[in-house]
Amino acid sequence: MLKRNKMKVLSLILATLVVGTTFVGCGKKDDASSTAKVDQVVKYNLGAQPKTIDPGLNNSVEGGIVDVNAFEGLENVDANNKVTPGVAEKYDVSSDGTKYTFHLRKDAKWSDGKGVTANDFYYAWTRALAPETASDYAYQLYYIKNGEAYNGGKAKVADLGIKVVDDYTLEVTLEAPTAYFLALTAFPTYFPVRKDIVEANKEGWATDAKTFVSNGAYKMSEYAQKDHMTFVKNDSYWDKANVKLDKIQYTLLDNETSALNAFESGEIDATDLLPAEQKQSLIKDGKAKVYPYLGTYYYAVNVSNKNVSADVAKALSNTNVRKALSMAIDRTAIVENVTKGGEQPATSYVPKGIVDSTGKEFKNKDYLKTTADVEGAKKLLADAGYPEGKGFPKLEIKYNTGQGHQNIAQAIQEMWKKNLGIDVTLVNEERKVQLDDLTKHNFMVCRTAWIADYNDPMTFIDMYYTNGGNNNPGYTNPEYDKLVDAAKKGTDAAKRTEDMHKAEDILMNDMPIIPIYYYTNVLALKNNITDLQKSPLGFVYFRNTVVEAASK
Q: What percent of the chain has pLDDT over 90?
A: 86
What is the spatial distance between Cα 409 and Cα 426, in angstroms, rounded to a whole number?
A: 7
CATH superfamily of 7-269+526-547: Periplasmic binding protein-like II (3.40.190.10)
CA dihedral 231, 232, 233, 236 (to 10 degrees): -90
Q: Say if residues 138 and 129 touch (Cβ distance below 8 Å).
A: yes
Mean pLDDT score, 2-20: 34
Would you tell me the crossing angle of helices 374-383 and 403-420 to the nearest 10 degrees? Answer: 70
Could you read off the pLDDT of 77-99 as tens digits, one per residue?
988 778 999 999 999 999 999 99
Q: Under CATH, domain 291-520 is a member of which superfamily?
A: Dipeptide-binding Protein; Domain 3 (3.10.105.10)
Give residue 357's pLDDT band: very low, low, confident or very high (50, 70, 90).
confident
Average per-residue pLDDT for the chain:
92
Q: Identify the pLDDT of residue 506.
A: 98
Q: Which amino acid is present at 428?
A: N
Is the CB of residue 139 less than 8 Å from the CB of residue 148?
yes
Please determine whether the domains at 7-269+526-547 and 291-520 fall in the same fold group of CATH. Answer: no
Higher-scoring residue by pLDDT: 5, 490 = 490
Question: Under a CB-based contact definition with an 8 Å cutoff, are residues 97 and 177 in contact?
Answer: yes
How crowded is residue 409: how many other Cβ atoms within 10 Å of its Cβ? 21
Nearest to 168 by CA among 234, 127, 111, 120: 120
**Do 75 and 85 form a contact (C-beta atoms < 8 A)?**
yes
Q: Collapsing DSSP states into helix, strand and coil, what is residue 120?
A: helix
Q: How many CB atoms lie within 10 A of CB 361?
A: 10
- Give the C-alpha separation, 520 to 548, whole Å: 27
What is the DSSP annotation of 357-392? TTSSB------S-SS--HHHHHHHHHHTT-GGGTTP
Task: Note the pLDDT tens digit of each residue in 516-544.
Answer: 999 999 999 999 999 999 998 889 999 99
- Residue ranges per domain, the chain? 7-269+526-547, 291-520
229-260 burial code (b ≥16 CB/10 A, e <16): bbbbbbebbbbeeebbbeebbbbbbbebebbb
Grade residue 26 by pLDDT with cuts at 50, 70 and 90: very low
Q: How many CB atoms lie within 10 A of CB 266?
A: 10
List own/partner pairs for 487-493 with CB under 8 A and 24 or more apart. Answer: 487/2, 487/458, 487/461, 488/2, 488/142, 488/143, 488/175, 488/176, 488/178, 488/458, 488/462, 489/175, 489/176, 490/2, 490/176, 491/2, 491/4, 491/5, 491/176, 491/177, 493/4, 493/356, 493/357, 493/358
Q: What is the pLDDT of residues 112-139, one digit of tens each?
A: 999 999 999 999 999 999 999 999 999 9
Is residue 355 within 8 A of residue 16, CB to CB? The reply is yes
| Rounded-to-integer distance, Cα 69 and Cα 545, Å | 12
> How many residues are there in the chain?
552
| pLDDT value of residue 543 | 92
Q: What single-letter DSSP state applies at residue 355?
A: B
pLDDT (tens digit, 9 = 90+) per residue, 394-409?
Answer: 999 999 999 999 999 9
CA atoms within a 13 Å half-sphere pointing along the CA-CB vector of 353: 22
Nearest CA-CA partner of 500 in 303, 357, 366: 357
Of the candidates 519, 80, 449, 475, which has an alpha carbon nearest to the alpha carbon of residue 291? 519
Q: What is the pLDDT of residue 358?
A: 82
Distance CA 24, CA 79 (A): 11
Please check the confidence at residue 2 and state whether its pLDDT lies above 80: no
Report the alpha-carbon distance of residue 215 to residue 284 in Å, rounded: 40
Please report the pLDDT score of residue 18 as a whole number.
Answer: 41
Q: What is the 3-state secondary structure (H, E, C) of 54-73?
A: CCCCCCCHHHHHHHHHHCCC
Contact 491, 4 (CB under 8 A): yes
DSSP string covering 463-497, please?
Answer: GGSTT-TT-TT----HHHHHHHHHHHH---HHHHH
| 219 pLDDT tier (thresholds 50, 70, 90) | very high
Quick one: which H or E segment has residue 230? strand 228-233
Question: What span, in angstroms and rounded, lies between the C-alpha atoms of 181 and 98?
Answer: 10
Confidence at 359, pLDDT banded by 50, 70, 90:
confident
Q: Per-residue pLDDT tens for 472-510? A: 999 999 999 999 999 998 888 899 999 999 999 999 999
Residue 72 has pLDDT above 90, yes or no: yes
The percentage of the chain sitting over the pLDDT mark of 70, rounded to a whole number, equals: 93
- The Cα–Cα gap between 276 and 292 comes to 17
Q: Give the residue, 391 or 7, on which the prediction is more confident.
A: 391
CA angle 253, 254, 258 (to 5 degrees): 60
